Chain A
Amino acid sequence: MILTNIQSVPGKKIVEHFGIVQGSTVRAKHAGRDFMASLKNIIGGELKGYTQLLQEAREEAVERMSEQAKQLGANAVVNIRFGTASIAQGAAELFAYGTAVRVE
């Protein structure tokens, strides 16, 4: 599966379009991480636990999107966009969407 966030795949030709595909995941941080983050908040700086959590969540969203594209018979997803939405206290939704295509 080739993934790009531009309108085409460089060096390849798009032969078929399958429309949009998307994947999303809602993640909550567990209490231990929340506690550590609130301690870290005193001195500021990077919250490694959250960075990792969001990175994993985003990979999961991309994974689901690729799965959907594969079911349609696509071998690439172009023009991918990411988005984040906080839907409730302590939970974040991460989504990825793009256009499924077949390239040669």
Chain B
Amino acid sequence: MDILLENMDLIISLGVIMIGYFAGSAAERKHYTSIKKREKETLGFPVVTAEAYFADGRVKESFMVSGSVVISMDYFKRLLGNLRNLFGGRVKAYESLIDRARREAILRMKEEAQMMGGDMITNLRLDTSTLTGSANRRSQIGSVEVIAYGTAVVFNQE
């Protein structure tokens, strides 16, 4: 019992890592299922990164759409990432995080464009930025923000 009490901080941090691992990977799996499902639904909606040129009288109106998401990694992944830093190389734990954030942002943008009656999106741009740690804690918060934006175009129906 004494040993337990003496190493309380170690046990707490182990517990947090365990919670991070189980809850984090469950959440990630759920998120990927949702992303895949929604990507399938919006597959027919064209999005291009190029600036498209249209014939006269083809376009009825155009407007900007954007989608953004702030996503953070769990304790377990942060630990893995820190370990990875010792040797260098691919940090798989972080890759899936960025991948999820980017796909989610694009999906949100597409959904907004569909909701507002757009027919396609041109000139898609993606931006990633990290948020600094919170004001009351010096530690890094380990979260990224991804924003996707573009111009939605509505065609004349003829």
Chain A residues in contact with chain B, CB under 8 A?
2-7, 9-11, 28-29, 31, 34, 37-38, 40-47, 50-51, 54-55, 58, 62, 80-84, 86, 88-92
Contact yes or no, B24 A44, CB < 8 A: yes
Chain B residues in contact with chain A, CB under 8 A?
16, 19-20, 23-24, 27-28, 31, 51-52, 54, 56-64, 66, 68-75, 77, 97, 104, 122-123, 125, 127, 129-138, 141-143, 145, 147, 149-151, 153
Contact yes or no, B134 A34, CB < 8 A: yes
**Which residues of chain B have C-beta atoms less than 8 A from A34's C-beta?**
134-137
**Which residues of chain B have C-beta atoms less than 8 A from A51's C-beta?**
68-70, 145
Main secondary structure of the interface of A (DSSP, over half): mixed
**Which residues of chain A have C-beta atoms less than 8 A from B61's C-beta?**
2, 11
**Which residues of chain A have C-beta atoms less than 8 A from B71's C-beta?**
44-47
Contact yes or no, B131 A50, CB < 8 A: yes
Which residue of B59, B73, B134 contacts A10 across the interface (Cβ within 8 Å)?
Answer: B59
Which residue of A5, A50, A89, A90 contacts B143 across the interface (Cβ within 8 Å)?
Answer: A50
**Which residues of chain A have C-beta atoms less than 8 A from B138's C-beta?**
89
Contact yes or no, B134 A4, CB < 8 A: no
Contact yes or no, B135 A11, CB < 8 A: no
Contact yes or no, B58 A11, CB < 8 A: yes
**Which residues of chain B have C-beta atoms less than 8 A from A81's C-beta?**
125
**Which residues of chain B have C-beta atoms less than 8 A from A62's C-beta?**
64
Residue of A nearest to B133 (CB): A89
